Amino acid sequence: MNITIKSPLDMHLHLRDEDMLKIVAPLSAETFCAGIIMPNLVPPITTIEAIKNYKQRIKDAIGDEEFEPLMTLFFKKDYTYEFLKEAKEHISAIKLYPSGATTNSDGGVSSMDIESLRETFEAMSELEIPLCVHGETNGFVMDREAEFGSIYEQFATSFPKLKIIMEHITTKNSVDLLDKHANLYATITVQHLFITLDDVAGGMLKPHLFCKPIAKRYEDREALLDVALSGHPKVMFGSDSAPHPTHKKECCGCAAGIFTAPIALAALTSLFDTNDALEHLQAFVSDNAQNIYDYRPLTKNIVLIKEPFTVRQSYADVVPMFAGETLPWSIK
């Protein structure tokens, strides 16, 4: 048995830079035809020159693979309309990070006050530039995304023409928001469809399953599964594949991030097959994203076959999700 996925897209992807970029970028480029590239480098991507330079480094790293990096800017409140108008042809979205919410986000937004964001949001609305948001407060770790829900609602109602992507949602609360506001959409990761907090810390701590937003409760995972497996048109796959070297994961002060690029399509196919939902896999990993972003990707067909795939223990110094485990589907 096999299945063909047409032009798979990863709508939330960390490729890092320098040596790490050279390790991980080819792994995404092998099985996806494009990806939304996160801008939280050090320093973050905030200029057109930085966008162009980073995009070229990505292309150099992937070599001859057919893959389009869809670039983003790191959100700043002082972006002018004129700057954004010039930047639009080079980017697919702008990514907003609350300050300190995740890796390399210290330069993010410290206040979500609507008036302080209005000028930039209105410019983005007029120019039709989507806003991607890491939606967490600084509250108790299990409540941060749910607490951000009211902020999403303020954004959606105050700027109805602004297309807002709730990134890597993890809660039932976020799922419920999808059908309340026409301009709210979401990405969902591999890991949040598979794991809960029990898998991370219910027994021995598993650092390679630690990410932000942290995995939540069983009822939250079920809500994510319901919308992903049903082909809900407002959700799309975004891996949030976030590689870190082993010494930054297996240590005191473990870095947040799960590396899923090499296993994403095989794992998703296995999950959708197990749940008798293979007919909705194409929408989740490509069609919905094309509609949401009004993007037409290059043609690239990936064939998966129902044969066991044993996941490598590591890629250079990066440990993937399901390392050493066997998945029932593999890339042909």
Structural domains in the chain, sorted by start: 2-331 (3.20.20.140)
Contacts by residues 248-256 (CB-CB < 8 Å, ≥ 24 positions apart): 249/207, 249/208, 249/210, 249/319, 250/207, 251/207, 254/207, 254/210, 255/103, 256/102, 256/103, 256/210, 256/211, 256/212
Does the bond joining 69 to the residue before it have cis omega, within 30 degrees of 0? no
- Share of residues in the chain with pLDDT > 70 (%): 99
The string of pLDDT tens digits covering residues 107-154 is: 778 678 899 999 999 999 999 999 999 999 999 999 999 999 999 999
Checking DSSP bridges between strand 309-310 and strand 9-13, what pairing results, if any? unpaired
pLDDT at 103: 74
**Where on the phi/psi map is residue 280: left (φ > 0), alpha (ψ -120 to 50), or beta?**
alpha
Tokens of 247: 């010494």
**Calculated CA dihedral for residues 146, 148, 154, 157, nearest 10 degrees:** -50
Mean pLDDT rounded to a whole number for the chain = 96
pLDDT of residue 99: 84
Q: Of how many residues is the chain composed? A: 332
Q: Which tokens belong to 142?
A: 């299990």
Q: How far is CA 5 from the centre of its chain?
A: 19
User: Has 240 been annotated as catalytic?
Assistant: yes
Contact 8/251 with Cβ under 8 angstroms? Answer: no
pLDDT digit string, tens, across residues 17-45: 999 999 999 999 999 999 999 999 999 99
Range list of H helices, 32-80: 48-62
Q: For 50-66, write each residue's pLDDT tens digit.
A: 999 999 999 999 999 99
Tell me, what's the pLDDT at 112? Answer: 86
pLDDT higher than 90, residue 201: yes
Mean pLDDT of 261-271: 98
pLDDT of residue 108: 76
3 state SS of 202: coil
User: 177: pLDDT confidence band, cut at 50, 70 and 90?
Assistant: very high
Q: Does the structure show a pLDDT above 80 at 100?
A: no
pLDDT above 90 (res 230): yes
What separation, in Å, do the N-terminal and C-terminal C-alpha atoms of the chain show?
A: 11
Instruction: Give the mean model confidence (pLDDT) for residues 140-169.
Output: 97
* Cα–Cα distance measured from residue 183 to residue 173, given in angstroms and rounded to the nearest whole number: 16
Other CB atoms within a 10 A radius of the CB of residue 324 amount to 11
pLDDT computed for residue 228 by the predictor: 98
pLDDT value of residue 76: 94
Residue 170: pLDDT band with limits 50, 70, 90: very high
Q: Which of 240, 287, 294, 317 is catalytic?
A: 240
